[in-house]
Amino acid sequence: MRSDMIKKGLERTPHRALLKATGIPQSEMEKPFIGVATSFTDLIPGHVGMRDLERFIEKGVHTGGGYSLFFGIPGVCDGISMGHKGMHYSLPTRELIADMVESVAEAHRLDGLVLLTNCDKITPGMLMAAARLDIPCIVVTAGPMMSGRGDQGRKFSFVTDTFEAMARYRAGVIDAKELQLCEDNACPGMGSCQGLFTANTMAILTETMGMSLPRCGTALAVSALKRRIAFASGEKIVELVKNNVTPRSILTRAAFENAIRVDLALGGSSNTVLHLLAIAHEAGVELPLETFDILARETPQIASMNPAGKHFMEDLDAAGGVMGVLKQLGDKIIDNPTVFGLTTHELAASVKQVDEEVIHPLTDPVKKEGGIAVLFGNIAPQGAVVKQSGVSDAMMKFQGTARCFDAEELAMAAIMEGEIKAGDVVVIRYEGPKGGPGMREMLAPTAAIMGMGLGESVALITDGRFSGGTRGPCIGHISPEAAEGGPIALILDGDQILLNIPERKLEVLVDEATLADRLTRWSAPEPKIKSGWLARYAKSVTSAYTGAVMK
């Protein structure tokens, strides 16, 4: 065992003395040392219930014949950090989390890891570490939140009833009493936000790729089932250690293709593009950005999930969960091993019944194409990403007038003050991985556009990114970004911008000579943040089209 390097032999007498100082009995020294990386924090609704799950993981590890050792990993709540300086830190924490898990596991020679996680950047960071370390690992995602409940069966959800409600109030559509009702009911308790936002999408894809146990991706945070999954995961990691089943034997090219297809089929978050590219990079799997679009054209969307659709995570779980989606996708899913022991095809075959009102059959899709599309053109030579599952048919093709803003706050102020009109294309730039730095989510302005009633007449493009809660004609991940002199930096107010999602085009209707002349007069702006971790991050982070990984 790896842990023998810190607990066996004469030379390890000092090491054993320190281990015994933590309370480890001599009798436990022969057992596998299982690290439990937990991102528990009082700050995030998706993580406040983890103390309970830690107990069940610990019981499972000891039942399986291992010895559990807990260590903490930080987390940032994207919703709380949204719309201010805090959002600069969200995506960069993904790299910190991967580095911290690697550091603790290697320094202490842990035999295996249980990765207890839940929210947007924490789950991909944990998976990046698992792929990088390639020691036995299993992921436990802490589960989604229940939808809020109101009078006459109304269901409340985080994005619709906070960010969009705020803009509806500003537009005079709802009054202060209704706004307060939304605030009080949108988030009723623990768990990751109720719709198919980034946290829940990543939990689903983690199960799809085979890195967590069946039902883990959709079992609710408040459920006894989630406790049982935590216990079973603790047992299973000891088995994985004994059999030397490591992440790279599971995180194959097939696993990533399966994850992309499930994301497309459900209409999940566009942030998964960044995260799957980054995890594949750590796993040594080649995964070009174009793969998402190739698979989108042949994978229909078979579920209508909040925020763009009507169903919540609790509905998806009851309908069959991830295994139900795999069953409906049939031969589009490639057979691949999982930490559970059964292959993806065997898991799909085990499902007896699927609620086809929630998870449609391929013969009756919600939409003919998958939820994500990759666009190219003179604005985005290296690509841009749109969650087309959240775009209405009327806005799949659109031409409008550029309104340019060099920071999210400037755009948000203009939207809320009523300065953005039908026919405009809001351009938010210098918000990419380098320019942000940290590639902030643009949920606040996109939700404001929807709340102000402009979702059918205004588009938004950015070199930043979007929350999984974003809906509407919002194009992000534009590469190269403005801070690198990408064409998005050259757009001027009044330019005409063409969006054509069916033809995968994003173009500014300005001739090449004019753009070239503008580029000769362009100069990189001063960094927005010049000290601390983010200044270092900006110097070494790569483009969005490669997953915004660190050099």
- Positions marked catalytic: 467
The answer to whether 389 touches 201, Cβ cutoff 8 Å, is: no
Polymer length of the chain = 551
- CA-nearest of 322, 311, 382, 368 to 202 is 322
Residue from 466, 484, 487, 467 nearest 475 by CA: 466
- The two tokens of residue 493 are 């107010």
Return the bridge partners of 385, or none: 374, 476
Q: Is 512 exposed, middle or buried (0-12, 13-18, 19+ CB in 10 A)?
A: exposed
Distances (CA, A) of 196 to 92, 138, 279: 22, 22, 20
User: Residues 473, 457: contact at Cβ < 8 Å?
Assistant: no
* Bridge partners for 156 per DSSP: 148
Element (H, E) at 133: helix 122-133
Task: Pick the closest to residue 279 from 341, 208, 374, 180 (CA basis).
Answer: 208
Cα(244)–Cα(238) distance, integer angstroms:
10
The residue among 359, 326, 69 whose CA lies nearest residue 210 is: 326
> Tell me, what amino acid is at 496?
Q
Instruction: Confirm if 120 and 275 have CB atoms less than 8 A apart.
Output: no
CA nearest 301: which of 253, 361, 353, 345?
Answer: 361
- Alpha-carbon distance 318 to 197, whole Å? 18
Q: What angle do CA 31, 36, 41 make, to 5 degrees?
A: 155
| In contact, 41 and 116? CB cutoff 8 Å | no
Quick check: helix, strand or coil at residue 206? helix
CA dist list (Å): 243 to 1, 82, 112, 290, 379:
11, 43, 11, 36, 50
Give 503's contacts (C-beta < 8 A, 6+ positions apart). none
Residue type, 376: F
CA atoms of 341 and 245, how far apart (whole Å): 10
Task: Of 543, 550, 387, give the one whose Cα is nearest residue 474.
Answer: 387
Q: Which helix (H) or strand (E) holds 34?
A: strand 33-38
**Strands 397-405, 424-428: pairing kind:** parallel
Q: Which residue has the tokens 């009078």?
A: 151
